[in-house]
Structure 1
């Protein structure tokens, strides 16, 4: 059996991914072209949206929304809206011109490591590789979202089977925590959950210092309950982690059988750099709220921010 993509310019799926997409995401290969066209027709009527997603991007959003056309429209609208509403995270992303982003990317703090027993893509994230105060948290998260864009456009496993993340907090310092303002945390949470078609299945935190408890609880307060139920804190107990993520897919630094953190990180950095033309082209995308039918959206609507937040007392 071969995945017939018809006239769509998308990657054919393996039999395993195709069956999963049909069973879990309500994907019907016979209806795919019509679904993509329905989204295209809708986009033509959205004068406020500046962006022309290709077939692959539209099908990824459809998959991330389990082929609900209305949910796909909402998420695509949010994806383009946040590019204009949150320029500090989604503009000025040309890696050939922004050396700060290149330096952050070279930390190699986020990368795929393998596939677990349920067929989900496992990622490793290492917090605190930067020196607190020398790099803006906004720039770090900007690079993080660039990596998410790369995954969204390239990784069918992550889109269809979902993602599992191992978050290593061992290098995180108090100076990192004090940069995490509540308003910023809210922005990051909303953009991640409402603007991307990725399907997080589990978040595993290890080596989390006690001063991060407040930040962790803030993230949870802004996250959907479904995400919180899929979040696990293992402390320093790697045996606990192994009950959620098999050792064989983890880097050797965590007792696993995969390559080293440095090698895996460098490989993914190369892939993101090779995607730079897409980031440059994406610079023009966003929304023009003056052209939105009905009430224009504001930062208050999206992020619930009233005035400015004072820094958390983490001492």
Structure 2
């Protein structure tokens, strides 16, 4: 078996991976090879299979080979079926750059307590709702997610904390979150991406938001619902989870300025330009899938009950 081409991680992260993710360093090479072999045996699936990419999925599934197979399949299945949402192919797309340049999605440089979860700040109202759609936002997030999957050991091993600041959100922003969109986002986040969400905090909640939130809450999985905390103007309880120092300078912290984070993200997108172009070579062909094809319309339609993706 050839030598693995993966990043070395520090002792603290390795200890966490061993204890919480069931990682056994002496077995990692065999686990990666088993996952790669399975991918190559799937006639419907064209997926990246380099060591680092596959290791992220194994870690994101606590080294359950069967769960990692399912996540990789769903990752490419959803991208192929819904490229307007999950397609990560073109970092030069002006709408995607507009989302990042407005600071709507900010991946903060310092993880919580140095070795803890990576923190992502979402400022949904940073652009007027008539200048971008929810599809642009999700597609931009999909590009950043893939960079995280490839680059960010803290996010993969320690997990992620999401902070959603809706201070400047308008009814136009809220109306974009239709039940169909919510279902797509929920399934993708929970079943297709090898990231480990730990907490989700909504801050600067305006009057009446909880009514809207309670209407969309049932569209989330139980796990997602349990991770969510809602905070109004008094953020003391929020700071118990995420101390102020771990927020950007504009939020009273010292975890980078918004301008610095935007600049770094744009640099990463530029560096990955050719990589994302290559993503056109990967995906699924449902006509070649063994067993019953997935009924996407029933799964994600506005009507009907919420159900999980089932992949043979």
TM over 0.5: yes
Report the secondary structure of 1:12's partner residue: coil
Counterpart of 1:102 in structure 2 is 97
State how far apart, in whole Å, the 2-side matches of 1:155 and 1:194 are.
19
CA contact (8 A) 2:99 2:105 kept: no
Report the secondary structure of 2:129's partner residue: coil
Task: Deviation per CA, 1:78-107: give whole Å up to 9, x if none.
Answer: 0010011112113373123x2222222211
1:195-214 superposed matches below 5 A: 195-214=192-211
Q: CA deviation at 1:73?
A: 0.6
State how far apart, in whole Å, the 2-side matches of 1:218 and 1:298 are.
25
Counterpart of 1:8 in structure 2 is 4
| Change beyond 3 A, Cα 1:91–1:247 | closer
1:286-297 superposed matches below 5 A: 286-297=283-294
Of the structure 1 ranges 85-94 and 60-69, higher mean CA displacement relative to structure 2 is found in: 85-94
State how far apart, in whole Å, the 1-side matches of 2:234 and 2:49 are.
43
State how far apart, in whole Å, the 1-side matches of 2:79 and 2:242 are.
33
State how far apart, in whole Å, the 1-side matches of 2:81 and 2:222 are.
25
Question: Which residue of 92, 116, 119 corresponds with 2:112?
Answer: 116
Counterpart of 2:143 in structure 1 is 146
Of the structure 1 ranges 109-118 and 36-45, higher mean CA displacement relative to structure 2 is found in: 109-118
Of the structure 1 ranges 252-261 and 288-297, higher mean CA displacement relative to structure 2 is found in: 252-261
State how far apart, in whole Å, the 2-side matches of 1:38 and 1:244 are.
38
Task: Deviation per CA, 1:186-244: give whole Å up to 9, x if none.
Answer: 11111121110000111111012345435533553232222222211111112222111
Of the structure 1 ranges 143-152 and 213-222, higher mean CA displacement relative to structure 2 is found in: 213-222
Q: CA deviation at 1:25?
A: 0.3
| Residue 257, structure 1, aligned to residue 254, structure 2 | yes
CA contact (8 A) 1:190 1:303 kept: no
Of the structure 1 ranges 219-228 and 8-17, higher mean CA displacement relative to structure 2 is found in: 219-228
Report the secondary structure of 1:283's partner residue: helix
1:239-250 superposed matches below 5 A: 239-250=236-247
Report the secondary structure of 2:231's partner residue: strand
CA contact (8 A) 1:248 1:257 kept: yes
State how far apart, in whole Å, the 1-side matches of 2:178 and 2:79 are.
20
State how far apart, in whole Å, the 1-side matches of 2:215 and 2:281 are.
32
Of the structure 1 ranges 57-66 and 159-168, higher mean CA displacement relative to structure 2 is found in: 159-168
State how far apart, in whole Å, the 1-side matches of 2:274 and 2:226 are.
37
Report the secondary structure of 1:229's partner residue: helix
Counterpart of 2:85 in structure 1 is 89
What stretches of structure 1 of length at least 5 have no aligned partner? 308-315
State how far apart, in whole Å, the 2-side matches of 1:79 and 1:64 are.
13
Task: Deviation per CA, 1:290-309: give whole Å up to 9, x if none.
Answer: 110010113136435549xx
Which structure carries more helix by proportion?
A: 2
| Change beyond 3 A, Cα 1:154–1:244 | same
State how far apart, in whole Å, the 1-side matches of 2:150 and 2:300 are.
26
What stretches of structure 2 of length at least 5 have no aligned partner? 305-312
